[in-house]
Amino acid sequence: MRASASISLFAAGCLISACGGARSSAVRLSTANDPAPIARLMPSPSTVAWGYYDAAAIPVLRVKSGDIVEIGTLITSSPTRLEAAGVKPEAVEQSLRDIYTNVKTHGPGGHILTGPIYVEGADSGDVLEVRFRSIELAIPYAYNSFGRGSGFLPEDFAYSKTRIIPLDRATMTAHFSDSISIPLHPFFGSVGVAPPAAAGKINSAPPGIHAGNLDNKRLVAGTTLYIPIHTKGALLEIGDGHAGQGNGEVDITALETSLLGRVQLIVRKDLHLTWPRGETPTHWIAMGIDKDLTQATKIAVREAINFLVTMKGMTRDDAYMLTSVACDVEITELVDGTLGVHVMIPKSIFTK
């Protein structure tokens, strides 16, 4: 992690160059003394990939390994649907209106992803380390909804419903009802790189080896995601902001909202991964993804064993045993086409 001086330089640059005026789509914020040049990338019709990851996509920003990017993401809904659910027209972000008006080609998925970001020096076989330096609320509301035929229980809810949920920045809680307040833990639901070129343009909904729509609620500010890279430049895209979420995301949405974050992007040529991996201050996170929940769980457990063998020097037998007695296997999400499972490996159990 960069020294704290980089953070203070960012704050000064933000106050002077970008935060005081209208949102600009892509601005480089840097000073001669800043060891990590900083860019600002906000969603606009020319800076988003709507509904896909694609190795042939044209990057909207180029950065160097180690750079910090301030990035904005938009709520995954339309102005029309938000207003129909009760959001006042003036509370709908203008950038969302602009994208729905001006971006004519999108899909096959529905997520509005900011990017792609080309990271210089990144290439197939490397790993992109994404450090979430900060993640903040961009608007004071979220929505949750389920639709006919979607979610984990479509047979029980054969209709659609949407709820607008106020967010309180001061208390960092969501006002679900007069008797229910939910603590907020904002994170980006979708953080991914381009898939292998042979895959073509892929749907933004199912997560995979490119990471993408992981919907892993553990990846809050102060954590790190490691993503295997499949094409030159990595072509990182970020979106699907969540103010909070339960494991499983069972009705197919979380506290869906717009976010503003700072991410540091580092090319790791010393790591070689098959599946994404996470890290928090207290745990390592092994991940598995598959259309079948059992297979997703097997992948996650094998990834945990592989981590313990390669990174901690354990035998496979001991790693399997340790995963059983000390690690937690959790369902990440059950609704994205491919299902996610992750294993939480506590750092505290290692005394050396």
pLDDT digits (tens, 9 = 90+) for 106-127: 999 999 999 999 999 999 999 9
Residues 313, 197 share a domain = no
Residues 228, 136 share a domain = yes
Distance separating alpha carbons of residues 118 and 140, to the nearest angstrom: 31
The model carries a pTM of 0.90
Point out the domain boundary residue: 278, 307, 330: 278
Backbone angles phi, psi at 337, to 5 degrees: 95, -60
Point out the domain boundary residue: 278, 309, 326: 278
Backbone angles phi, psi at 84, to 5 degrees: -65, -30
- Listed as ranges, residues in the chain with pLDDT below 70 are 1-37
* C-alpha dist (Å) from residue 138 to 36, 188, 247, 344: 25, 12, 23, 29
For residue 32, what are the domain limits? 4-278
| Model confidence pLDDT, tens digit, residues 240-270 | 999 999 999 999 999 999 999 999 999 999 9
Point out the domain boundary residue: 229, 260, 278: 278
Token duo for residue 146: 């389920």
Distance separating alpha carbons of residues 145 and 168, to the nearest angstrom: 20
User: Closest by alpha carbon to 101, among 162, 45, 157?
Assistant: 45
Helical pair 316-326 and 293-312, crossing angle rounded to 10 deg = 120
Question: For tokens 């290439």, what's the residue?
Answer: 123
Check residue 7 and give its pLDDT. Answer: 27
DSSP state at residue 14: I
Distance separating alpha carbons of residues 90 and 295, to the nearest angstrom: 46
- How many domains does the chain fold into? 2
Residues 128, 247 share a domain = yes
Check residue 21 and give its pLDDT. Answer: 35
Distance separating alpha carbons of residues 133 and 122, to the nearest angstrom: 21
Check residue 352 and give its pLDDT. Answer: 84
Residues 164, 103 share a domain = yes
H-run or E-run covering 287: strand 283-290
Please check whether residue 271 is in contact with residue 284, taking contact to mean a CB–CB distance below 8 angstroms. Answer: no
Residues 256, 114 share a domain = yes
Which CATH number characterizes residue 339's domain?
3.10.28.20
- Spell out the residues 6+ positions from residue 156 whose beta carbon is closer than 8 angstroms to its own: none
Check residue 32 and give its pLDDT. Answer: 44
Residues 209, 323 share a domain = no
Question: For tokens 């381009």, what's the residue?
Answer: 194
- Spell out the residues 6+ positions from residue 232 whose beta carbon is closer than 8 angstroms to its own: 122, 123, 124
